[in-house]
Amino acid sequence: MDTSVEAASTDKLGRRSGPRRKYTIAEKRAIVEETQRRGASVAEVAQRHHVNANLLFGWRRLYQQGVLSEEGPSSQPALLPVKVSTPTVLPSERAARKSRALKKPNSGSIEIEFPGGQHLRIHGQVDSAMLTRVLAALSQR
């Protein structure tokens, strides 16, 4: 008579916890191939191997994709030819350009106070032709 007792830890809800069983690719493949036999039930195969049926369905999907093949997934991914048609700005270059732009000294500012208490503030470089048109439009009001 076997009197050995396996200690199993449980969580607050009484579910078994502890180290999970790890299956090799060969074991997964063998279990999946068992489900593909004529008249086999995925649920019955899962119960017989103490595996959740949802996990077994996931293995079947991997098997169909070739991930569980004997040689395993291909070690090198297939590469496609690429041609760069426009120059690429790397994020580090973009950040460097942005920081240089922020460090540029302010070339000046203009503040105009109109009768009636309105203010016009212009910061940075100002196109004189555009400023002339804006002032002419505002003075006609």
pLDDT digit string (tens) for 26-48?
999 999 999 999 999 999 999 99
Instruction: Give the residue from 31, 38, 83 showing the smallest Cα distance to 57.
Output: 31
pLDDT at residue 37 in the model: 92
Under-50 pLDDT residues of the chain: 1-4
pLDDT at residue 84 in the model: 73
SS3 call for 49: coil
Q: What are phi and psi of 62, to 5 degrees?
A: -60, -40
Contact status, residue 110 vs residue 121, Cβ threshold 8 Å:
yes
Q: For the chain, how many residues are written?
A: 141
pLDDT at residue 123 in the model: 76
pLDDT at residue 88 in the model: 66
pLDDT at residue 124 in the model: 76
In tens, the pLDDT along 123-135 reads 777 777 877 887 7
- Name the token pair of 31: 């279990």
b/e code 29-47 from CB counts within 10 Å (16+ = b): bebbebbeeeeeebeebbe
Strands (E), the chain: 9-10, 16-17, 109-113, 119-123
